Structure 1
Amino acid sequence: MDLMRCSTCGETLRAGEARCPTCGAAVASRVPVSQRHVRQCPRCAYRGDGISYFRKASHIGLLVGLSVFTYGVGGVVYYALRRRRRVCPNCGLGWEHSREPGEGFSTEELAPVKARSTAAAPTREAPLPPSGIGRRVFGGSLAVLATIMITAGISTSVFEPVVIGSAIGMAGSGLFLWGWKALQQRRESVLNALNRRVLMLATRREGVLTVTDVAAELDLTIPAAEKIMVAMDDGFRVRSEITDDGVLYYEFPEVRHRGKLGSGDADQ
Structure 2
Amino acid sequence: MFFFFGYPIIFLLPFFLALLALRSGSRTLGAHRRSALFGDDLYADSALQRQVRGIEARIFRLAYRMNGVITVSDVVVELGIGSEEAQTFLDALVDSNRVRIDVADDGVVTYAFPEIEHRLNINKAGEQ
Q: What range is the shorter-chain TM-score in?
A: 0.5 to 0.7
Which residue number in structure 2 is paired with residue 175 of structure 1?
Answer: 30
Matching residue within 24, 47, 54 for 1:77: 24
Tell me the alpha carbon deviations over residues 51-87 of structure 1, each in whole angstroms, 9 at most, x when there is no partner: xxxxxxxxxxxxxxxxxxx9xx85x82893xx7xxxx
Displaced runs of 4+ in structure 1, greater than 6 A? none
Identify if the C-alpha distance between structure 1 residues 185 and 215 changes in structure 2 by more than 3 Å, giving closer, same or farther. same
Which residue number in structure 1 is paired with residue 104 of structure 2?
Answer: 243
**Farther-moved stretch of structure 1 (204-213 vs 219-228):** 219-228
Q: What is the TM-score normalised by the length of structure 1?
A: 0.32
Tell me the alpha carbon deviations over residues 95-129 of structure 1, each in whole angstroms, 9 at most, x when there is no partner: xxxxxxxxxxxxxxxxxxxxxxxxxxxxxxxxxxx
Counterpart code for 2:73 = T
Which residue number in structure 2 is paired with residue 185 of structure 1?
Answer: 46
Identify if the C-alpha distance between structure 1 residues 179 and 219 changes in structure 2 by more than 3 Å, giving closer, same or farther. farther
Q: By percentage of residues, which structure has more helix?
A: 2
Which residue number in structure 1 is paired with residue 55 of structure 2?
Answer: 194
- State the secondary structure of the residue aligned to 2:81: coil
Which residue number in structure 2 is paired with residue 227 of structure 1?
Answer: 88
Gaps of 5+ in 1: 1-69, 84-173
Identify if the C-alpha distance between structure 1 residues 178 and 204 changes in structure 2 by more than 3 Å, giving closer, same or farther. same
Equivalent residues in 2 for 1:105-124, closer than 5 Å: none
State the 1:256 CA deviation. 2.1
- Structure 1 vs Structure 2 CA RMSD: 3.2
Contact 2:32/2:44 (8 A) holds in 1: no
- State the secondary structure of the residue aligned to 1:261: helix
Contact 2:100/2:113 (8 A) holds in 1: yes
State the 1:178 CA deviation. 3.6
Gaps of 5+ in 2: 1-16, 36-40
Identity in percent: 28
Q: What is the TM-score normalised by the length of structure 2?
A: 0.61
Which residue number in structure 1 is paired with residue 122 of structure 2?
Answer: 261
